[in-house]
Chains A and B, each alone.
Chain A
C-alpha cells in the first residue's frame, strides 16, 4: 500500500504517527493519561519545548546549531523574577528588555559565525559560558524572587479547558509556518541551508539571513525562559539545562535535516509533543528520568544518520 502523503511530507507524517503510537501506549499503561488535565499538561510542556525548538530549528535550517540556548533560557527565567518581581506593571517594560538582551546575545553569535568565521559550535559554546558568567555576576549567583503574574497567567491559566500557553503556541505555529513557507525570508532561509554558495550567487544576502537565525533563536529561548519561570512558579540556576538536547531532538524527530536546508515547524511541533509525551510516559513505565537523555541521544543519532545517508543516496 502506498502512503497517500507527498514524499517530502512523509517524515512529518512519520513524526505524527510516532506521537499517536506513544499516546496510545500512554492510554493503555495509565488510565488518566488522556484526562483533560493531563492533556493540558502535555500541551504545556510540549509548548515549552516547542518555543525553544522553534529557534533551534531556524538555526539548524540554516546549517548551524545553537549551544547557548540553555543559559539564555535560564537567564531570561531568572531576570524576569529579579527585575519584575510581583509588580506586574513592570513587566510591560521588562519583557521587551529581556528579549532585547537575548537578541544582543544572538546578534553576537551571528556576527561571530558570519563575519568572523568562527564555527557555530565554538561560537555558541563560548557565548554560553559568557552568558552564564554575566548572569552569575549580575545576580551574584542567587536566583529566586517572585514570578510576575502575567508570566504565570501565560503558563498556567486556562480559558475554559484550553491552556493559554497552548493558544500562544498555536499562534506561533501559524506565524512560523507562514514565515517559512510563504515569505521571501523563508525561501531565502531554505536556500542558504541547502547550498550557501548557490544562494549567494542567486542574490540572497546569506550573511543577513544567517545572522538573523541566531537572533531568532536567542529571542525564542528567552521567551521560553519567561514562560518556564511562570510554569514552574520560580526560577533557579540550571533551569534551562534540559533544553539543549530536547530542542535538537525535537527538530530531529520532526523530520528536519540536522544538516540544514529541509524541514518545517509543523514537524518540529510533532517532535516537541512526542518528547513531552515521552517525558510523561517513561516514569510510568518504570524508567528513571535519566533514560530520557539516552533517548534524546539515540534520536539525534538516528536522525543524523538518516539525513546524511538519505542525502547521499539522493545525490548519487
Chain B
C-alpha cells in the first residue's frame, strides 16, 4: 500500500482546517465552488505532467501551451459556435506540441528538459504573436460555467471527478502499464518488448492535450487571456505532482496524489490570504514546498534502495 498520495491529501486537509478556522464562511457553497474552480486547471496540468514524470522525463512546454491556449481563447471565442471550434483547435495545437516533444525525445533520444525548454520558448513566441499583451475576453456565459453547479456539485468538481474516473480506467490499459515499465526500468522495458518511441510520443502528446484543456479552464477562470501566464504555472504543476508522491526518478506514483497536491497548493494561497499576508509569501512557499517534496521523495527512494540491497542475496 502506497501512503504517499495520502500525505498530499493530509497536507491539503490540514491546510483546509487552518483556513476554515481563520476564515468563517469557508464551508459555504460559494467558497467550495471557488476552491474547486481555482484548482481544476492545475489538476489538468498535473495529470499530464505526472504521466511525463512517470517516464523519468519533464515537460516544461506545458507553460507555453497554457499561455498559447489562453491567448487563442481570449482572441477567438466570440460566439457559442466558435467556442467549441476554437477549443478543439487549442486541444489539437496542444497535442501537436506534445507529439513533437515526444518524437524528439522518443525517436531522436534527445534530453526531455532541453527539448521541452526549446518548445516552451517556441510556443511562448507563438502565444505572444496571437495576443501581444494581457487582455482579450472570454464571453461571460462561457466563462461563468466553471463557477456554476450541476446536480448539486460545482462543475469544476465534476471535471476533477471525470479526470479521476478517466485515470482509474487508464490505469488498467496496456499503455499505462508500458508507461510504468518504461519509467522504472527503461532498458528492461525495451527488452520486454515495450515500444519506447510510441509510448513516449503518446505520453508527451497526452501531456500537451492536458495542458491545452488546462488552458481553456484557466481562461474560463480569469475570463481573459495572458500570453505569459504559463511561465509561472510550470512550477506549481510539477510541485502538485511531486507532493502527490510521484517520483522524479520515474516508475512510481499516480494521479490521485496529484489531485491532493493541487488542492494543497491552492489552499496555501488561501491560507496566506486568510492570514492577511501578501500573496508574495505564496511564491516563496511554492518553491520551498517543491524542494522539500523532492528531498523527501529522494530520501524515501534511497531508503527503499538500501532496504532492497539488504534483502538481495
Instruction: List the interface of chain A (C-beta within 8 A of B).
Output: 65, 112, 116-119, 121-123, 125-130, 132-134, 136-137, 140-141, 241, 245, 248, 258-259, 288-298, 300-301, 304-305, 308-309, 312
Q: Is B24's beta carbon under 8 Å from chain A?
A: no
Report if A293-B122 is in contact (Cβ < 8 Å); known contacts: A118-B291, A133-B287, A309-B108.
Answer: yes
Judging by beta carbons under 8 Å apart, are B124 and A293 in contact? yes
Cα A128 to Cα B236 in complex, Å, equals 12
**Which chain B residue shows the least CB distance to A290?**
B128
Residue contact B118 to A121, C-beta cutoff 8 Å: no
| Interchain CB contact under 8 A, A140 and B278 | yes
- B294 lies within 8 A of chain A by Cβ: yes
Residues of A within 8 A of B278 (CB): 136-137, 140-141
With an 8 A cutoff between CB atoms, is B141 at the interface? no
Instruction: Please determine whether B122 and A298 come into contact, CB atoms closer than 8 angstroms.
Output: yes
Q: Are B291 and A112 in contact (CB under 8 A)?
A: yes
- Cβ of B284 and Cβ of A130 under 8 Å apart? yes
Question: B157 contacts the other chain (Cβ, under 8 Å)?
Answer: no
Whole-angstrom distance between the alpha carbons of A258 and B288 in the complex?
A: 28
Complex CA gap A140/B122 in Å reads 33
Among B109, B231, B234, B294, point to the contact of A118 (Cβ < 8 A).
B294
Given contacts A127-B287, A137-B281, A258-B114, contact A117 B298 (CB under 8 A): yes
CA A121 to CA B123, docked complex, whole Å: 20
A300:B117 contact, CB within 8 angstroms: yes
The answer to whether B287 touches A297, judged by C-beta atoms less than 8 angstroms apart, is: no
B123 to chain A, nearest CB (A): 8
Contacts of A119 in B (CB 8 A): 248
- Chain A hits for B17, CB < 8 A: none
Besides the known contacts A122-B58, A129-B284, A248-B117, 14 further A-B residue pairs in the complex with CB atoms under 8 A apart:
A116-B298, A118-B298, A121-B60, A122-B294, A128-B235, A132-B283, A133-B282, A133-B284, A134-B284, A141-B280, A288-B129, A293-B128, A301-B104, A309-B108
Question: Is B286 among interface residues, defined by CB-CB distance under 8 A?
Answer: yes
Cα(A301)–Cα(B117), bound, Å: 9
Say if the beta carbon of B139 comes within 8 Å of chain A: no
Closest to B295 in A: A116
Which B residues are CB-close (under 8 A) to A298? 118, 122
User: Which residues on B sit within 8 Å (CB–CB) of A127?
Assistant: 287, 291
**At the interface, yes or no: B82 with Cβ under 8 Å from chain A?**
no
Interface residues on B, range: 35 or more
Hey, which bits of chain B sit against chain A, CB under 8 A?
Answer: 58, 60, 104, 108-111, 113-115, 117-129, 132, 228, 231, 234-235, 238, 248, 278, 280-288, 290-291, 294-295, 298
Q: Which residues of A contact B287 (CB under 8 A)?
A: 126-130, 132-133
Q: In the complex the two chains form, what is the Cα distance from A288 to B124 in whole Å? A: 13
Q: Are B290 and A304 in contact (CB under 8 A)?
A: no
- Contact flag A305-B110 (CB < 8 Å), given A125-B238, A125-B290, A140-B278: yes
Complex contact A297–B294 (CB within 8 A): no
From B109, B125, B127, B288, A292 is in contact (CB under 8 Å) with B125
Known contacts A65-B114, A132-B283, A248-B117; decide if A291 and B125 are in contact (CB<8 Å).
yes
What are 17 A-B residue pairs whose CB atoms fall within 8 Å in the complex? A122-B248, A122-B294, A126-B287, A129-B283, A133-B280, A133-B287, A288-B132, A289-B128, A291-B125, A293-B125, A294-B125, A297-B125, A300-B117, A304-B111, A305-B104, A305-B110, A308-B108
Contact indicator B121/A294 (Cβ below 8 Å):
yes
Write the nearest CB–CB distance from A33 to chain B, whole angstroms: 24
Q: Are B280 and A118 in contact (CB under 8 A)?
A: no
